[in-house]
C-alpha cells in the first residue's frame, strides 16, 4: 500500500525538484508584488482624486465667497479667471460679453460677443498681438471659439489651435505661442451671459474633469450675472417709464439737477427744458379707449426718441466742444419733457421743438384707426429768468409756457416769460373754482335766436353757458371752457347744459304755440362726443325732459368730427336714428373732407363768424361764404351764418341765398326771461321758413 505525503509549507511537493519549487515560488511572489503595486496605485489615485476634489472645492468656494463679497460683476469675473488659471497653470484667459444692442457694427437681431477688457496674462509682452487681435473682433453666432460656445451653450475644447480652421485668431495665437484652448459659457437662464476662454502653451487633449469643473464655475458666475441683472432691472424700473421705457420723472429731475449744478459752475453753459403735451390726447382715450391711447403714447415716444439726436438737430459751430447727451422723458399721461444739453441760444431749442412737432404730423394708424395729433411745447432756458433756475422752477415755467402754447391755438411752441407764472397760478385757481361752481349752481344759460333770413322769423335758439362768479362777476366762456376741457369738467358741465336747455325749450313749447317747431342747438365738446355712452346720455335727457328728438340739434366741431371718422359716422348715424338733428359748427376752420360730409347724416352747416366778419371788407370772404352755401345746398343741408352783426352782412347773406343767420344784428344772447318775453310777443304760428331750420 502507497502512502501520499503532504505538500510542504510553501506548497512544494515532495516529488518536485528543487528547481520547480523555486520557479513556482517566484511566480507566486510576482503575483503578490503586482497585487501590491495595483493596490498602491489605486490608493494613490484615490488620494490624488481626493486632492483634486479638495482643490476644486477650494476653488469653487473661493469664487463663491468673492461673488458675495465683490461690488461688481467685473471683479468676480476677473477673480474667476485668475483662480482657474492658477488651478490649471494655463497662462492666458479672457472674458467676452454680449455686444450692446446699440453697437454700430451689430447686425439687427444677430447675437455677437465682444471683448470685456478683462484679461489674465502671465506676462504682457508675448501675448500682446493676440490680445489686440481679440479686441478688434466681434464674434458672431458660431464664429471662432467664443461664437461656437454662444451657439451651443456648452463648453468647447480645442486640442491644437493651429489645426482648427474655425479659429480665426490662429496666426496671432501661434505668434504668442498658444497651442490649445477651451472655453465655457456663463448661462443666465437659457441665454449666454458671458464666455470665458483659456489658452495653454502646450498641446493638451480634452480634460473631462477640467471641463466639468469649468461647467460648475460657469453655473456660479451665471447666478452672479442673474443677480446683477435683477438688480439692474430694479434700478432701471425705478427710473424709467413702464409703458415707453423712457426716463421717468425721477430720472429726468436727477439729470436736470446735474445740468443746473453745471450751469452754476460754468457761466457759459446753457441748457433748455422742453415741456411737450400731445394735443387732443384725452379725446383719443375717451373715444377709442385706453388701449389705443397707450399705443399712441408708445408710438409717439418712439418717433420723438428717433429724431432727438443732438448732432442732427443742432449743428455745432466751428471750434465748439461736442454736445452732451439730451434726455427725453415721459412725466406721465401725455406729457413728455426734453433736456437739451449745451445749447448756444434760444433758437436752438425752437429748432428742436419744430423737429419734434414735425415727426408727430404724420398720422398714426393704430388698431385700424387713423389718428392725427400734434404737440404743444413750452420752452425755458437756464439763466433767462433770475432766481428761476431750480429744478422745480424750470419745470413749472416750462409747463406754464406749454399751457400758453395750447391757449394760443395748440401745435406750437412758446418761450417762457415772467407773465406766464402768474397766468399759470390763475389757471389753477380757476380750475379749483370751476369744480365748486357746479356744486354752487353758479352756471347760467343764455339763448341766442337763430333767424330765418327770408322771413325774419325765429327758427330756434342756441344755448350758451355763462359763469356767474360770486366775486368776479360774469366770466367769459373763452376763459373757462378751455380749462374745463383740459381738466375734464366739461363732461358734467356739458350734461348740465344739455339737460337744462332741453328742459327750457320744452317749457317754452308748453307755454307758447309758436315754439312748438323750434329747435334748441347745444354744443357738444370733443370730449363729450368721445364718450362711449353719448347716445344713451342724449336719450335719457330727452326722456327726462319730454322733448321730441327732432327739436334737439347737436352741434359738433370739425375737429371732433374728423378725429376718428369711422367712429364719428357710427355715432352720428345712431343719433340720427334717434331723431336728433346734427350740425357742424364753425365750418371752414377745420379740415373737413367733402367725402365725410357726404357720408355723415348732417342737416346743417354753421359758417364760422370769421368769414362773416370779413364779408364787408374782403371779396375773398364773400367767395368762401358763397362756396360753402353752394356746397351745403348741393348736399341738401341748411346753412346758418354765425356772427351776423351788420345790415350789410345780412344783406350779403340774403343775396347769397343763405337760409339762416345768428348774431348781434338780430339778438344778443339773452336770459330766460328776455326770450320768454320775445316768444310772448310773437304771432301764434311759426312761418314755414322758420320750421325749415328744424328739419
* CATH code at position 343: 3.30.70.270
- Asked, for residue 508, whether it belongs to a domain, the answer is yes
pLDDT digits (tens, 9 = 90+) for 228-265: 888 878 888 888 999 999 999 999 999 999 999 998 88
Interacting residues of 424 by C-beta distance below 8 A, sequence separation 6+ = 396, 399, 400, 403
Residue 92 maps to which CATH number? 3.30.450.40
Largest CA distance in the chain: 171
pLDDT digits (tens, 9 = 90+) for 86-127: 888 889 999 999 988 655 455 555 589 999 999 998 876 789
Torsion of CA 490, 495, 499, 500, to 10 degrees: -30
Co-location of 279 and 317 in the same domain: yes
Joined grid coordinates for residue 340:
437739451
- Asked, for residue 174, whether it belongs to a domain, the answer is yes
Co-location of 452 and 528 in the same domain: yes
Interacting residues of 343 by C-beta distance below 8 A, sequence separation 6+ = 270, 271, 272, 314, 349, 381
Q: Which residue has the higher pLDDT, 387 or 519?
A: 519
Co-location of 450 and 330 in the same domain: no
Residue 388 has pLDDT above 60, yes or no: no
4-30 CB burial, b ≥16 within 10 A, e <16: eeeeeeeebeeeeeeeeeeeeeeeeee
- Asked, for residue 5, whether it belongs to a domain, the answer is no
In the chain, helix, strand, coil percent, each to 5? 50, 20, 30
Joined grid coordinates for residue 530:
368721445
Torsion of CA 362, 363, 366, 369, to 10 degrees: -170
- How many CB atoms within 10 Å of residue 126? 16
Co-location of 17 and 85 in the same domain: no
Co-location of 534 and 503 in the same domain: yes
Determine the 3-state secondary structure of 13 from DSSP: coil
Residue 542 maps to which CATH number? 3.20.20.450
pLDDT of 18 reads 76
- Alpha-carbon separation of residue 198 from 9, 105, 170 (angstroms): 62, 26, 14
pLDDT mean over 564-592: 83
What is the DSSP code string of 585-652?
Answer: EEETSS---HHHHHHS---EEEE-HHHHHTTTT-HHHHHHHHHHHHHHHHTT-EEEEET--SHHHHHH
Co-location of 328 and 341 in the same domain: yes
Evaluated on CA atoms 279, 602, 456, 502, the torsion sign reads negative
Whether 197 contacts 183, CB under 8 Å: yes
- Asked, for residue 31, whether it belongs to a domain, the answer is yes
Whether 461 contacts 449, CB under 8 Å: yes
pLDDT of 311 reads 45
pLDDT digits (tens, 9 = 90+) for 397-450: 899 899 888 888 888 888 888 777 677 777 778 888 888 888 889 999 999 999
Residue 9 has pLDDT above 60, yes or no: no
Bridge partner residues of 553 (DSSP) = 521, 581
CA atoms of 437 and 77, how far apart (whole Å): 67
pLDDT of 85 reads 87
CA atoms of 683 and 225, how far apart (whole Å): 89
Determine the 3-state secondary structure of 534 from DSSP: helix
Of the candidates 360, 382, 416, which is a domain's last residue? 416
pLDDT of 229 reads 80
In 3D space, the residue among 380, 384, 371, 378 whose CA is nearest the CA of residue 412 turns out to be 378
pLDDT of 52 reads 59
Whether 650 contacts 640, CB under 8 Å: no
Co-location of 184 and 271 in the same domain: no
- Asked, for residue 3, whether it belongs to a domain, the answer is no
Co-location of 465 and 535 in the same domain: yes
Helix axes 647-655, 619-634, angle to 10 degrees: 40
- Alpha-carbon separation of residue 619 from 189, 440, 623 (angstroms): 75, 48, 6
- Asked, for residue 269, whether it belongs to a domain, the answer is yes
Co-location of 378 and 400 in the same domain: yes
Of the candidates 69, 94, 117, which is a domain's last residue? 69
pLDDT of 74 reads 87
In 3D space, the residue among 371, 369, 352 whose CA is nearest the CA of residue 361 turns out to be 371
Co-location of 23 and 63 in the same domain: yes
Joined grid coordinates for residue 443:
352756471
- Asked, for residue 431, whether it belongs to a domain, the answer is no
pLDDT of 29 reads 74
pLDDT of 130 reads 93
On the 0-12 / 13-18 / 19+ scale of CB atoms within 10 A, 235 is: exposed
Co-location of 444 and 328 in the same domain: no
Radius of gyration of the chain (CA): 43
CA atoms of 474 and 485, how far apart (whole Å): 19
CA atoms of 113 and 150, how far apart (whole Å): 8
Of the candidates 384, 416, 448, which is a domain's last residue? 416
Q: Give the range of the structural domain holding residue 121, as residue numbers without chain letter.
A: 71-239
Of these ranges, 66-75, 533-542, 580-589, the one predicted with the greatest mean pLDDT is 533-542
- Asked, for residue 451, whether it belongs to a domain, the answer is yes
Strands 413-415 vs 443-452: parallel, antiparallel or unpaired: unpaired
Domain count, the chain: 4
- Alpha-carbon separation of residue 258 from 91, 271, 332, 381 (angstroms): 45, 11, 22, 15
Co-location of 619 and 646 in the same domain: yes
Amino acid at each position: 500500500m502507497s502512502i501520499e505525503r503532504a505538500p510542504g509549507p510553501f506548497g512544494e511537493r515532495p516529488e518536485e525538484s528543487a528547481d520547480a519549487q523555486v520557479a513556482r515560488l517566484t511566480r507566486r511572489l510576482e503575483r503578490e508584488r503586482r497585487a501590491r503595486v495595483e493596490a498602491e496605485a489605486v490608493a494613490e489615485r484615490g488620494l490624488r482624486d481626493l486632492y483634486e476634489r479638495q482643490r476644486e472645492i477650494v476653488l469653487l468656494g473661493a469664487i463663491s465667497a468673492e461673488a458675495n463679497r465683490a461690488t461688481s460683476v467685473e471683479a468676480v469675473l476677473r477673480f474667476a479667471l485668475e483662480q482657474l488659471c492658477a488651478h490649471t497653470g494655463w497662462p492666458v484667459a479672457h472674458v467676452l460679453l454680449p455686444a450692446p444692442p446699440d453697437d454700430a457694427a451689430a447686425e439687427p437681431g444677430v447675437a455677437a460677443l465682444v471683448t470685456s477688457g478683462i484679461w489674465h496674462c502671465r506676462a504682457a509682452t508675448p501675448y500682446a498681438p493676440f490680445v489686440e487681435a481679440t479686441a478688434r473682433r466681434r464674434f458672431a453666432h458660431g464664429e471662432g471659439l467664443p461664437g461656437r460656445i454662444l451657439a451651443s451653450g456648452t463648453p468647447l475644447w480645442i486640442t491644437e489651435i493651429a489645426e482648427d480652421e474655425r479659429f480665426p485668431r490662429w496666426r496671432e495665437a501661434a505668434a504668442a505661442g498658444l497651442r490649445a484652448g477651451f472655453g465655457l459659457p456663463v448661462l443666465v437662464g437659457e441665454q449666454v451671459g458671458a464666455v470665458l476662454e483659456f489658452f495653454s502653451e502646450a498641446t493638451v487633449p480634452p480634460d473631462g474633469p477640467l471641463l466639468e469643473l469649468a461647467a460648475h464655475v460657469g453655473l456660479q458666475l451665471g447666478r452672479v450675472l442673474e443677480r446683477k441683472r435683477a438688480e439692474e432691472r430694479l434700478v432701471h424700473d425705478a427710473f424709467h417709464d413702464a409703458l415707453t421705457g423712457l426716463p421717468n420723472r425721477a430720472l429726468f429731475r436727477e439729470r436736470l439737477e446735474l445740468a443746473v449744478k453745471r450751469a452754476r459752475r460754468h457761466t457759459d453753459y446753457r441748457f433748455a427744458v422742453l415741456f411737450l403735451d400731445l394735443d387732443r390726447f384725452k379725446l383719443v382715450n375717451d373715444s377709442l379707449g385706453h388701449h389705443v391711447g397707450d399705443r399712441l403714447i408708445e408710438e409717439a415716444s418712439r418717433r420723438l426718441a428717433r429724431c432727438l439726436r443732438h448732432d442732427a438737430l443742432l449743428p455745432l459751430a466751428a471750434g465748439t466742444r461736442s454736445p452732451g447727451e439730451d434726455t427725453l422723458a415721459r412725466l406721465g399721461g401725455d406729457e413728455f419733457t426734453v433736456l437739451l444739453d449745451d445749447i448756444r441760444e434760444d433758437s436752438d431749442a425752437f429748432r428742436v421743438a419744430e423737429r419734434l412737432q414735425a415727426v408727430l404730423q404724420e398720422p398714426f394708424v393704430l388698431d385700424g384707426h387713423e389718428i392725427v395729433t400734434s404737440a404743444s411745447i413750452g420752452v425755458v432756458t437756464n439763466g433767462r429768468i433770475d432766481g428761476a433756475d431750480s429744478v422745480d422752477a424750470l419745470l413749472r415755467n416750462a409747463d406754464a409756457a406749454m399751457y400758453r402754447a395750447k391757449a394760443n391755438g395748440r401745435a406750437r411752441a412758446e418761450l417762457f416769460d415772467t407773465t406766464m407764472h402768474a397766468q399759470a397760478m390763475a389757471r389753477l385757481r380757476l380750475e379749483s373754482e370751476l369744480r365748486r361752481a357746479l356744486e354752487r349752481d353758479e352756471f347760467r344759460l343764455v339763448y341766442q335766436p337763430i333767424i330765418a333770413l327770408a322771413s325774419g322769423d325765429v327758427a330756434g335758439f342756441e344755448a350758451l353757458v355763462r359763469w356767474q362768479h360770486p366775486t368776479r362777476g360774469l366770466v367769459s366762456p373763452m376763459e373757462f371752457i378751455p380749462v374745463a376741457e383740459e381738466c375734464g369738467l366739461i363732461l358734467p358741465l356739458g350734461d348740465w347744459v344739455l339737460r337744462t336747455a332741453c328742459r327750457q325749450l320744452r317749457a317754452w313749447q308748453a307755454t307758447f304755440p309758436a315754439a312748438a317747431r323750434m329747435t334748441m342747438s347745444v354744443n357738444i365738446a370733443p370730449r363729450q362726443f368721445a364718450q362711449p355712452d353719448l347716445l344713451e346720455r342724449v336719450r335719457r335727457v330727452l326722456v327726462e325732459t319730454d322733448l321730441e328728438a327732432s327739436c334737439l340739434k347737436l352741434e359738433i366741431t370739425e375737429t371732433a368730427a374728423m378725429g376718428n371718422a369711422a367712429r364719428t359716422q357710427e355715432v352720428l348715424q345712431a343719433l340720427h336714428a334717434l331723431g336728433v338733428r346734427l350740425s357742424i359748427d364753425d365750418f371752414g376752420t377745420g379740415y373737413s373732407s367733402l367725402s365725410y360730409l357726404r357720408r355723415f347724416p348732417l342737416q346743417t352747416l354753421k359758417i364760422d363768424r370769421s368769414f362773416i366778419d370779413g364779408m364787408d371788407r374782403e371779396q375773398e370772404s364773400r367767395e368762401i361764404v358763397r362756396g360753402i352755401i353752394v356746397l351745403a345746398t348741393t348736399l341738401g343741408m341748411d346753412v346758418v351764418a354765425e356772427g351776423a352783426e351788420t345790415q350789410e352782412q345780412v344783406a350779403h347773406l340774403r343775396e347769397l341765398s343763405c337760409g339762416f343767420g345768428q348774431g348781434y344784428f338780430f339778438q344778443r344772447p339773452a336770459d330766460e326771461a328776455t326770450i320768454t318775453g320775445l316768444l310772448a310777443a310773437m304771432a301764434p304760428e311759426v312761418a314755414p321758413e322758420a320750421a325749415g331750420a328744424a328739419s
